[in-house]
Structure 1
Amino acid sequence: MAKHGNRVARSKEDLQLELREQLELLVYACERYDAGKEAIGRHIALSLRVLLNHHGRSRSLLEQLGLRAGRWIDTAGAINPRNLATDSNLLMIRATNEGARYLPLCHMGESPNTGFEEFSVWWTRPVLKDNKGRFMSRMDIVSHIANSDGGAHVDPELDEAYMALSRQNSLGWEFSKDGIIEAIAGRPELACVRQIAHEVLESLKATGVSAGDRIE
Structure 2
Amino acid sequence: MNLTEKDYLNHLIEQIDFLQNSCERFDKGVVSEGKRIAVGIRTLVHDTKNSVSLLTHLDVKNKLYYFNTAIPETKFGLTGIRTTTEGGGKTIYVAPLDKLSDKRKEQPLITFNKWWTEMKVISDGNNKFSRKDLIMNVANKDGGAHIDSKLNKSYSKLTRENSLNVFHQDNANQLTSVKGVELASIRQIAFELIRTLSRKYPKYFSNLA
- TM beyond 0.5: yes
C-alpha contact (below 8 Å) 1:142/1:193 kept by paired residues: yes
Aligned CA distance change for structure 1 residues 33 and 119 (closer, same or farther; 3 Å): same
Distance 1:160 1:210 in 2: 42
Equivalent-residue separation in structure 2 for 1:103 and 1:212 (angstroms) = 24
Whether 2:69 is the aligned partner of 1:88: answer: no
* Cα drift, residue 49 of structure 1: 0.2
| Residues 1:109 and 2:96 aligned together | no
User: Quick one: structure 1 residues 78 and 63, their matched pair in 2 at CA, closer, same or farther if it must change by over 3 Å?
Assistant: same
Going from structure 1 to structure 2, the CA distance change for 1:181 and 1:67 (only over 3 Å counts) comes to: farther
Contact 1:204/1:210, CA 8 A, preserved across alignment: no
Q: What does 1:175-190 correspond to in 2, within 5 Å?
A: 175-178=168-171, 180-190=173-183
Residue 26 (structure 1) aligned with residue 19 (structure 2): yes
Map 1:154-165; keep pairs closer than 5 Å. 154-165=147-158
- The TM-score normalised by the length of structure 2 is 0.88
The Cα of 1:184 is off from its aligned counterpart by 4.8
Distance verdict in 2 for CA 1:150–1:17, change over 3 Å: same
Change beyond 3 A, Cα 1:167–1:210: farther
Structure number with the higher strand fraction is 1
For residues 7-40 of structure 1, the C-alpha deviation after alignment (integer angstroms, 9 at most, x for no partner) is x421111111000000100000000000110111
Do the aligned residues in 1 keep the contact of 2:166 with 2:178 (CA within 8 Å)? no
Unaligned runs of 5+ in 1: 1-7, 80-85
Report which stretch shifted further, 31-40 or 59-68.
59-68
Structure 2 residue runs of 5 or longer lacking an equivalent are none
Match of residue 74, structure 1, among 55, 62, 68: 68
Q: Give the fraction of aligned pairs with identical amino acids, expressed as a percent.
A: 31
> Residue 88 of structure 1 aligns to a residue in which SS?
coil
Instruction: Look up the match of 2:8.
Output: 15
1:194-216 deviation per Cα after TM superposition (whole angstroms, max 9, x unaligned):
00000000111122346457xxx
Does the Cα contact within 8 Å between 2:160 and 2:179 map onto a contact in 1? no
Larger radius of gyration: 1
1:25-174 aligned within 5 A: 25-68=18-61, 69-79=63-73, 87-97=75-85, 98-106=89-97, 109-112=99-102, 113-114=104-105, 115-124=108-117, 125-131=119-125, 133-174=126-167
Q: 1:150 to 1:59 in 2, by over 3 A?
A: same
Contact 1:127 1:137 in 2 (8 A): yes
User: Root-mean-square deviation (CA), in Å?
Assistant: 1.8
The 2-side partners of 1:9 and 1:111 are apart by 46
Aligned-partner Cα distance in 1 for 2:198–2:170 = 41
Contact residue 75 and residue 164 of structure 2 kept, 8 A = yes
The alpha-carbon deviation at position 164 of structure 1 amounts to 1.1
Q: Is residue 191 from structure 1 mapped to residue 184 from structure 2 by the alignment?
A: yes
Cα contact 1:129–1:135 (8 A) shared by 2: yes
**CA contact 2:198–2:205 (8 Å) conserved in 1:** no
